[in-house]
Amino acid sequence: MNDQAPSATELLQRRLTLVGDVSTLNAQALKLLQALAGAEMEVLRLELEIGRTAASAQLVRDLHEAEKNAAAIRAAQTECDDRIADADREVAELDLQLATARRT
């Protein structure tokens, strides 16, 4: 069994992978933000339409569907933000390990 600490090269390779993961997650977060903006615009459009005209059953159904869509996107955003935070913590831990490896 090998209880040796990972080498600086191994730590750097792991860090590179994690930074790539963070980049991918940030791109996903941006896409979710854009999707949420579109969903919220649809909610506003439907609310305005309902305010201007009689609230037809179809408009109300469409509004509820748009609100559910926006809520689902918000939930996905929260999950993505949590994953980014986890990956950022892993990068910070690796940075500490790298700093320790450089001192030894």
Count of alpha carbons within 13 angstroms of residue 33, beta-carbon side: 7
**Would you kindly state where each structural domain of the chain is located, as residue ranges?**
23-103
**Chain centroid to CA 51: how far?**
34
Tokens of 25: 């997650």
pLDDT-based confidence at residue 86 (cuts at 50, 70, 90): very high
Q: 23 exposed, middle or buried (CB, 10 Å; 0-12, 13-18, 19+)? A: exposed
Helix extents (H) in 3-56:
8-52
Tokens of 82: 């949590």
Encode pLDDT of 28-80 as tens digits: 999 999 999 999 999 999 999 999 998 899 999 999 999 999 999 999 999 99
